[in-house]
Amino acid sequence: MGIVTGGLSVIAANMSGSSLPIKIAIGTSGLVFASGNTTLGSEVDRNLITSTDLSTTEQVTFVSNFSAPEISGTILKEFGTFTSGNTMLDRQVLAGSLVFDGEQELQAQTTFKFFMSGT
């Protein structure tokens, strides 16, 4: 996973107000990640974050749930996290793909780990 340029700006703004992650979106594009990405290659669905986990030091995990009917027929190849202002924070392109035939549900999870680098 890579944090996009817009995501770096959001983190720099302390992830407050409209900068808070509120949704995870899924898509069907396998286009290669680029730091300038502002949208998924081909978004299929976007759901609210249903849980936030801060139990591990220096990281936060966000989870969204997708029901079987809403993702039926989807060939999942990408997902990303978005703010209420629709700024994409990150984009993950899967190495392969996941095919949903209407029987499976999906729980998408994004974890941001923060650390200091350099001096």
Note the pLDDT tens digit of each residue in 59-89.
Answer: 788 999 999 999 999 999 999 999 988 999 9
Q: Which residue has the tokens 């629709």?
A: 86
Name 51's Cβ contacts closer than 8 Å, sequence gap at least 6. 62, 63
**pLDDT the model gives residue 119:** 43
**pLDDT the model gives residue 17:** 57
Kindly report whether the global pTM for this prediction surpasses the value 0.85: no
Whether the predicted pLDDT of 19 surpasses 90: no
Identify which has the larger pLDDT, 7 or 67: 67
**pLDDT the model gives residue 27:** 97
Domain coordinates of the chain in residue numbers?
2-113
**pLDDT the model gives residue 52:** 86
d(CA 89, CA 23) in angstroms, rounded, equals 10
Q: Which two tokens stand for residue 88?
A: 């994409």
